Amino acid sequence: MNTQTPQAAAAVSDSDDLLQDLVHANHILFDEGVLDAFGHVSVRHPDRPDRFLLARNMAPGLVRAEDIIEFELDGTPVDADGRKVYLERFIHGEIYRARPDVMAVVHSHSPSVVPFSAVKSTPLRPMCHMSGFIGEGAPIFEIRDVAGDATDLLIRNAPLGESLAHSLGDNNVVLMRGHGATVTGPTLKQAVYRAVYVEVNARLQADALRLGPVEYLTPGEAKTAMEMIEGQVERPWQLWKQRAQARR
């Protein structure tokens, strides 16, 4: 099935595959329970590192190629043509600006992760070999530190996006207190993998904490395990993609 419009095709020139993969990523993250009607996934433009691709304001499970819009890093849409854009697009642009190594970003309200954003005494840490990308633990972005105690908790402008990117630092995951998480990757497939497995890790960690003190991965184990498992990212991607396609 190819529903791509000439306009969307022009936006990514030779990179039709990446555009299609971004559509698949939207569907996968919905099917795997990471995104629901809210949340979004973007990829840095393959030919223009100062731009990124993100769907128009809509439920991720319904995204098609013609719904993808190109954005400047400051959140300005290049080819929206009157289409409504996501309020929290600044999450993506400001992380791409701060982190040249990041090629894809997932912002979710991943249900098992949200509790770790609100319980600051129990950091989210890697507790199994599938989630080494969490490294030494996910930092928490506290919006009150930069915007006071009466916000809607959303990243609704570029300065808030910049503050979030600062909290992310060199990590792959940043939690957002009372809101959700933002996950980054050096490829779209790795970002999707990480967004799925940060949810799994949070569920497992909460389960483990009920049993007793948890033995977490050391920083060395986290790094080694991450390199091992993410070298095989094609395997879950193909599975999740096929399942997502079969459902549509």
- Rounded distance between C-alpha atoms, residue 124 and residue 161, angstroms: 21
Beta strands in the chain (DSSP E): 40-44, 51-55, 68-72, 104-108, 140-141, 173-176, 180-185
Task: Report the interhelical angle of 16-31 vs 234-246 (nearest 10°).
Answer: 80
Contact by Cβ (8 Å): 77, 56: no
Annotated catalytic residue, options 32, 70, 88, 230: 88
Residue with tokens 């993506």: 92
Show the tokens assigned to 92: 């993506």
Q: Residue 88 catalytic?
A: yes
CA–CA distances in Å: residue 208 to residues 57, 67, 115, 136, 165: 37, 41, 15, 18, 30
* Residues designated as active site: 88
